[in-house]
Amino acid sequence: MRKNMKTMKEWTVDAKWGKIAMVSWGDPSNPPVLLVHGYMDSAATFIFLVEQLPDDYYYVAFDLPGHGQSDPFPGGAVVSLLHMVEVVRLVVDYMRWEKFVYISHSMAVIIGMFYNHSFPGYITKMVLIDPAPSFFMHHLHNTPRFAYEYLFELYYSFFERWNAANTKILTMEEAVNLSHRTRTITEEQARIIIPRSLIPAGEEKFTLTLVPKMKRIASADVSPETLITILTQKTPPLLIVEASINICAGPGKDFAAKIIQKCLTVRHSLSVTVEGSHDVHITNPDGVAVHVVKFLKSDFDGRLVRGKL
């Protein structure tokens, strides 16, 4: 880790099901920014991006339940992204924020959009980092056969396995290599990010904290028309950061592109493309940050024009 990395504070927030693990960077008296991670990830995913962002904001992130250092939801039914909206509400209420900026990656895009629609007025600006895969998965999850087989038949046929703790034992090097291979990030980047998703298992071994059931998170069960309404009504200014390498394919790719175009009808919405793949905020934080900083500093007095930059 570089010697000049910003200081990261850690603490926990109580929820009915357990602890929500929190992290922050900066002075709490500065304007707040909430960063929410994506699928099978943790708050550590934003370490590299925060390093490139200005110090005159207060950055807060947390691990979603069953991820990172946060306790999982109780065993039971399939977890939905809508359950995560309640987690965001709890965090915001705990922080006693009346206004804040929301920065999201992947599935956190939909989480944030549903939070904003349910509790309008709190989020002043939204940054959506590579949102296409979240819309792609929404399309798949609302395809009846896929939803039944992937989310329900597989889950309930092996219910005990999905609701058990993760027991796979790894060395740190094995964990780093696993993250490096599956996320197409460098070994150095993986070495900084992966420790937050590990717990000691003795003799320099570790287990992944990710609860197996969190691999089967359902998207919001709403029609495309309802999704578009939620994404475009009561919505603050948007910055959409698209990765130059699109990992989506097939009909879901077209669906995602359509939804992004609908998002660009929001007043003061902007789309930029940054070189990289889905984890572009890790592999190219400088490229993402330059647009985020400009967006954060904008007062939207009419000088910005809707559309692509």
Which tokens hold the place of 158? Answer: 């092996």
Do 66 and 89 touch, CB atoms closer than 8 A?
no
Predicted confidence (pLDDT) at residue 303 exceeds the cutoff of 70? no
Give the dihedral of Cα atoms 119, 120, 122, 128; nearest 10 deg. 100
What whole-number distance in Å separates Cα of residue 174 and Cα of residue 182? Answer: 12
Is residue 202 in a domain? no
What's residue 151's pLDDT?
84
How do residues 230-255 score in pLDDT, each as one tens digit? 999 999 999 999 999 999 999 999 99
Q: Report the distance separating Cα 307 and Cα 239, nearest Å.
A: 10
Residue 208 in any domain: the answer is no
Residue 209 belongs to some domain of the structure:
no
pLDDT band at 300 (very low <50, low <70, confident <90, very high): confident
Model pLDDT, residue 302: 52
Give the Cα separation of 225 and 228 in Å (integer): 5
pLDDT of 307 reads 43
Domain of residue 35: give its range: 9-157+220-308
pLDDT of res. 75: 85
Task: Reply yes or no on whether the pLDDT at 199 is more than 60.
Answer: yes
Q: Is the pLDDT of residue 124 over 90?
A: yes
SS (H, E, C) the chain: CCCCCCCCEEEEEEECCEEEEEEEECCCCCCEEEEECCCCCCHHHHHHHHHCCCCCCEEEEECCCCCCCCCCCCCCCCCEHHHHHHHHHHHHHHHCCCCEEEEEECCHHHHHHHHHHHCCCCEEEEEEECCHHHHHHHHHHCCHHHHHHHHHHHHHHCHHHHCCCCCCEEEHHHHHHHHHHHHCCCHHHHHHHHHHHEEECCCCEEEECCCHHHHHCECCCCCHHHHHHHHHCCCCCEEEEEECCCCCCHHHHHHHHHHHHHHCCCCCCEEEEECCCCCHHHHCHHHHHHHHHHHHHCCCCCCCCCEEC
Q: Is 290 contained in some domain?
A: yes
How is residue 123 written in tokens?
Answer: 């989020």
Structural domains of the chain, count: 1
Residue 246 resides in a domain? yes
pLDDT in tens, 142-164: 998 888 888 889 899 999 999 99
Is 63 within a domain?
yes
Residue identified by tokens 């979240």 is 134
Contact yes or no for 195/44 (Cβ under 8 A): yes
pLDDT at 305 over 80: no
Which CATH number covers residue 120? 3.40.50.1820
195: left (phi over 0), alpha (psi -120 to 50) or beta: alpha
Whether 143 is in a domain gets the answer yes
Give the total residue count for the chain.
309
Residue 42 lies in a domain: yes
Predicted pLDDT of residue 2: 47
Banded model confidence at residue 1, pLDDT cuts 50, 70, 90: very low
